[in-house]
A and B are shown apart, each in its own frame.
Chain A
Amino acid sequence: MASIWLLQLPSLPFQHRVFSNGTSFLLHRRHCLSQRLNWIPLTPNRTFFMRAVNGPMSSEEDNCAHNEVVDRAKSTLVVDSRHPLALFQESIASFPPAVFLMKIFPRNYFTVGLCITIAIMVVALRAYAERKPSQSHPGSVADLVRRGQLRPDRRGVSRPLNYDDPFNNPLVKVGKSNSTVEMCGKQYRLAPVNLTKEQQAVHQKRRSRAYQWKRTTVFLKEGDSIPADVDPDAIRWIPANHPFATTASDIDEDLVQNNVYQQCGVPFRIQAEHDALQRKLEALQKEEKLNNLLIDSRNAKDFQRPFKLNDWSEDPVEQGPINNSRVETKPTKTGHASDSIESDTSSEEMKQP
């Protein structure tokens, strides 16, 4: 249960008035540590009053002051503690910030509740706005993308950036003191670059001493003699059995240089492969046509005269000549040969009683 304490300072070097509003005490005293502080519990109240008295007090005066304060405190108690609203008010009053706010807006705790409600609504609205929609509305461009009519990445390229300078970017925020930068929500500390021109020159000299290299200008096969005006460090030797060595004499450099824009058409090698594939395809197609001309056991019904079902069941031997003809005209290919073997066995089975 909330309670209020009365602070009684028996003696102080100087007199001053202390105001208490439930949240702060302003005490300007020099000998506070040496003073005796008496805390007197009082019944719950919204306000309490404290008075500091200078100078030593007699015990009688002290008791009088004490009683006076207690009486005043009791007399200011106007709230009925039995009422539930009063209990609610007491609980609010027990928290200093609430008491502070209630002092500013007396008897208007609805304002506090309203502010809190508005804050919660703002948070909820922001979360709702940032939430990605699970499905776009029907009939949108997203349906075209889903169906494969549109490429999804094209839509991003069509809209260029709105800023000319990548550094004048709303996503890149440099701190006021130029010591921090914020990119994509992360903050980084900046450290200055301290490479000078002299240091760069030192590194270049170091590398020129460490790495000696000359560009290859002449390619020679093994066994070739070195021309007189060529630096030996600029020669690259190609082994005699290397493909690059064998085809060196077949290349017309001028033709190759002029063919950068494919002015002479498709390269020879590609054309030759294409022609070979074309010939192979034509050969395969010819073979398929030939195969389709032969009588297939599956398609034999197309060439048979229609017969009655009774004749078929009573006299199966009559099928023999037809089966024999099928056997004689069996094709050479293995696939069809297996079919003919099957037809032979079936005809033999049919001949058996």
Chain B
Amino acid sequence: MDMNFFREINKHQELPLARIKKIMKIDDDVKNQMISAEAPVLLAKAAEFLIEELTLRAWIHTEENRRKTIQKSDIAQAVSKNEVFDFLIDIVPRDEIMKSRSVPHNNTSTNETEEYYQLQTEAEAETSNGQSVQYILQYANNDSDTTNLSNSMLHLANGQVIQATQIGPSIPLSGTPGQSIQVMTVGNGERIEIIPVSSSNE
């Protein structure tokens, strides 16, 4: 009985109608319009439902990740998973998009002798004699187009991670006789050919 009574009082604390009317007036087209007294009441209630819905949808993702605290990312996920919240996509951006934007992009390099792609593989062991070895990395499944290689990460089967950062313009790959071409197959069917190229300032 008492609990119900308090709940009723709690329900009474609604969103302020004056504030809602102010928000409505932000729209330039509405500025000169009149707003009937019922409109903010309806919107207050509707906004309340939206808050509840969004909260519960976010909570689903929080529980999936076995957390107890709803994070902003849960809300972002709830927004992206439900079409009803499409209009909120710009308001609650997904974190992944933010991350990919913050990746530093180096295209100021003009030095031809620089490595075209920086590879972190076991082949680095060959540089023990002080000579720097350059590698050119190219997707074998699409010879003409290597532009999609920029900022890509490749996970090899043995747990190694190759980070390919495009620095210079992509150059056509031609197998020179006498050079060994190392071909690796990546899990998703793409092949990587690695050809050692002697440094041009040699």
A and B: real partners? Answer: no
Contact surface of B with A, Cβ cutoff 8 Å: none
